[in-house]
Amino acid sequence: MNGLDLAEDYWRRHGRPWLEEKYAPWRHRIAVGLVGDGSDCLGFDDEYSRDHDWGPGFCLWLTHEDHMEIGDALGRDYRALPPTFNGFTRQTSEWGGGRVGVFEIGSFYRGFIGRPGIPETLADWFRIPEKNLAAATSGRVFADELGDFSRIRQGLLAFYPDDVRLAKIGARCMSAGQAGQYNLHRSIQRGDPFAARYAETKFCADALSLVYLLNRRYAPYFKWLWRGLAELPILGPWLAEAVAALVAADDPGHKTAAVDAICARLVAALVAEGLSHSSSRFLVDHGPVIHDRIADPSLRAVNVWVGP
Q: What is the pLDDT along the chain (308 residues), one digit of tens a residue?
A: 799 999 999 999 999 999 999 999 999 999 999 999 989 989 987 888 877 777 899 999 999 999 999 999 999 999 999 999 898 888 877 666 688 999 999 999 999 999 999 999 999 999 999 999 999 999 999 999 999 999 999 999 999 999 999 999 999 999 999 999 999 999 999 999 999 999 999 999 999 999 999 999 999 999 999 999 999 999 999 999 999 999 999 999 999 999 999 999 999 999 999 999 999 999 999 999 999 999 999 999 999 987 77
* 3-class state of residue 89 by DSSP: strand
Residues 6+ apart with CB under 8 A from 135: 35, 36, 37, 41, 112, 220, 221
Considering the domain architecture, whether residues 134 and 24 belong to the same structural domain is answered as: yes
pTM: 0.94
**Of 157, 179, 209, which residue constitutes the final position of a domain?**
157
Considering the domain architecture, whether residues 150 and 199 belong to the same structural domain is answered as: no
Report CA-CA distances (Å) from 31 to 36, 259, 294: 14, 46, 37
Considering the domain architecture, whether residues 208 and 152 belong to the same structural domain is answered as: no
Q: What is the rounded distance in angstroms from the CA atom of residue 95 to the CA atom of residue 98?
A: 9
Domain count, the chain: 2
Residues 6+ apart with CB under 8 A from 64: 104, 105, 106
Considering the domain architecture, whether residues 168 and 268 belong to the same structural domain is answered as: yes
**Of 126, 157, 188, which residue constitutes the final position of a domain?**
157
**Of 157, 192, 224, which residue constitutes the final position of a domain?**
157
Considering the domain architecture, whether residues 286 and 230 belong to the same structural domain is answered as: yes
Considering the domain architecture, whether residues 198 and 129 belong to the same structural domain is answered as: no
- Looking at residue 96, its pLDDT comes to 66
Considering the domain architecture, whether residues 198 and 277 belong to the same structural domain is answered as: yes
Specify whether the CB–CB gap between 291 and 274 falls below 8 A: no
- Looking at residue 1, its pLDDT comes to 73
Strand order in the sheet with 59-62: 101-104, 59-62, 31-34, 140-143
Considering the domain architecture, whether residues 135 and 248 belong to the same structural domain is answered as: no
Considering the domain architecture, whether residues 238 and 139 belong to the same structural domain is answered as: no
Considering the domain architecture, whether residues 167 and 143 belong to the same structural domain is answered as: no
- Looking at residue 89, its pLDDT comes to 86
- Looking at residue 54, its pLDDT comes to 77
Considering the domain architecture, whether residues 219 and 112 belong to the same structural domain is answered as: no
- Looking at residue 98, its pLDDT comes to 82
Q: What is the rounded distance in angstroms from the CA atom of residue 290 to the CA atom of residue 51?
A: 44
Considering the domain architecture, whether residues 149 and 226 belong to the same structural domain is answered as: no
Question: Residue 195 is which amino acid?
Answer: A
Domain that residue 210 falls in: 162-306
Catalogue the long-range contacts made by 93-98 (C-beta closer than 8 Å, 24 or more residues apart).
Answer: 93/52, 93/53, 96/38, 96/52, 96/53
Half-sphere exposure of 209 (CA within 13 A, CB side): 25
